[in-house]
Amino acid sequence: KIKAVTPSLCFSLQYKQPSILQGRTDVVTVTPWLAPVVWEGTFNPVLLDSIYRPRNITVAATVFAVGKYDVTFLKDFLETSEQHFFVGFKVHVYVFTDGAKQVPQVKMAAGRQLTVRSVPSSRRWQEISARRMEMIQTLIEELRNSTDYIFCLDVDSKFHGHWGVESLGSLVAVIHPGYYRDDRSRFPYERRPTSRAYVAPGEGDFYYCGGAFGGRLQEVHLLAKTCRANFEADAKDGIEAAWQEESHLNRYMWTNKPSKVLSPEYLWQDFKSRSPEVHIVRFSGVIKNYAEVRPN
Ligand code: U5P
């Protein structure tokens, strides 16, 4: 008698036998709250693709290009995302910009699309950075039901290597490349208790990037809504957190632990030489002249 087998378990794929004894030993691959920390060598991209492909998921990405940022960075960001970001999956990139006419034409593969949304220009870069949460919140309210996951990414960055379904989770944070060797007392959290982004001494897990985060729509919506509300309440009290939305994001991730943590491979900085544990740089912030690109 032949037993029934669920179709999703019928793998014809051949792949290397997994081991719980061998693997990366130079880095930590799980947090104390049991969220995976994604490093090269901890996952099999072919296996993961074969699991996710039948699910027919859609991934949205938001990117903001306001002021001088669009002309300078958008082309590279969009072109390299075509080469590396969720290749073979349905991807919808949303560009928020005050220069819609200058958005470069980039050829996108089947199943991938770009939507440009006009936003007002702003005098202060801190304000541009801060208003991202508000726009992400609003976008998610429109997208619900049509999209499964969303990533919010900095435009002054480029993809260099595979960024795919291994990064998916309900709430996903990326460890900042600048501080992961440091004691938490040195993390640039907001340290004034009057701010809603405050993280007390002795608290905080990692220092996460404001330049890349994501997850399921509902989770990212709650994050964006909370960070926006806290930012605005702070503004009413005349306080702006040390690193604007990045500070609020870090405060949020302290009380709402991410379900997946991406290693600094997922947001390196071009000016930093690569550390031995970083076997691949998938995405990195480009070197920029702050005086040139920031309005003031
Ligand atoms: N940003 C702009 N224009 C600005 C400042 C910031 O579009 O004048 C957006 C970009 O998407 C940038 C992100 O990647 O905010 C974070 O800013 P920064 O911290 O990289 O300067």
Contacts of 246 (CB under 8 A, 6+ apart): 208, 209, 210, 211
Annotation marks residue 246 as catalytic: yes
pLDDT of residue 30: 98
**For the residues 46-56, what does the mean pLDDT come to?**
96
Which ligand 1 atom is the nearest neighbour of the CA of 157?
A: 14
In this structure, the strands spanning 90-97 and 112-118 are parallel
Mutate to test the pocket of ligand 1, among 62, 63, 64 (most ligand atoms within 8 A of CB): 64
Give residue 17 CA to ligand 1 midpoint distance, Å.
Answer: 43
Categorize the per-residue pLDDT at 5 as very low, low, confident or very high, splitting at 50, 70 and 90: low
Average model confidence (pLDDT) across the chain: 93
Phi, psi values for residue 84, rounded to 5°: -130, -25
Angle, nearest 10°, between helix axes 244-255 and 125-143?
50
Say if residue 3's pLDDT is above 80. no
pLDDT tens across 151-168, in order? 999 999 999 999 999 999
Establish whether this prediction's ipTM goes over 0.90: yes
Full DSSP string of 129-164: HHHHHHHHHHHHHHHTTT-SEEEEE-SSEEE-S-B-
Task: Report the distance separating Cα 148 and Cα 4, nearest Å.
Answer: 30
Distances (CA, A) of 12 to 5, 9, 204: 13, 9, 44
Considering the domain 35-176+186-293 in this protein, what is its CATH number? 3.90.550.10
Q: Is the CB of 84 under 6 A from ligand 1?
A: no
Say if residue 296's pLDDT is above 60. no
**For the residues 60-77, what does the mean pLDDT come to?**
88
Say if residue 129's pLDDT is above 90. no
Mutate to test the pocket of ligand 1, among 62, 131, 156 (most ligand atoms within 8 A of CB): 156
Which ligand 1 atom is the nearest neighbour of the CA of 73?
A: 14
Scan for tokens 């958005």, then name that residue.
103
Q: Is the CB of 64 under 6 A from ligand 1?
A: yes
- Find out whether 287 and 271 touch, Cβ atoms under 8 Å: yes
Using a 10 angstrom Cβ sphere, with 0-12 exposed, 13-18 middle and 19 or more buried, the burial of residue 294 is middle
Say if residue 107's pLDDT is above 80. yes
- Find out whether 151 and 220 touch, Cβ atoms under 8 Å: no
User: How many Cβ atoms from other residues are within 10 Å of residue 2's Cβ?
Assistant: 4
Contacts of 163 (CB under 8 A, 6+ apart): 84, 85, 86, 266, 282, 283
Say if residue 4's pLDDT is above 80. no
pLDDT of residue 295: 53
Give residue 138 CA to ligand 1 midpoint distance, Å.
Answer: 19
Contacts of 259 (CB under 8 A, 6+ apart): 35, 169, 170, 171, 172, 215
Say if residue 68's pLDDT is above 90. no
Q: Is the CB of 128 under 6 A from ligand 1?
A: yes
Which ligand 1 atom is the nearest neighbour of the CA of 65?
A: 7
Mutate to test the pocket of ligand 1, among 73, 77, 128 (most ligand atoms within 8 A of CB): 128
Q: Closest residue (by CA) to atom 15 of ligand 1?
A: 129
Sheet holding 157-159, edge to edge: 157-159, 283-285, 268-269
Give residue 128 CA to ligand 1 midpoint distance, Å.
Answer: 7
Categorize the per-residue pLDDT at 264 as very low, low, confident or very high, splitting at 50, 70 and 90: very high
Q: Closest residue (by CA) to atom 5 of ligand 1?
A: 125
Phi, psi values for residue 11, rounded to 5°: -90, 125
Give residue 65 CA to ligand 1 midpoint distance, Å.
Answer: 7
Give Rg (Cα) of the chain: 20
Say if residue 224's pLDDT is above 70. yes
Q: Is the CB of 156 under 6 A from ligand 1?
A: yes
Which ligand 1 atom is the nearest neighbour of the CA of 64?
A: 11
**For the residues 278-286, what does the mean pLDDT come to?**
98
Say if residue 72's pLDDT is above 80. no
Task: Report the distance separating Cα 15 and Cα 176, nearest Å.
Answer: 32
pLDDT of residue 154: 96
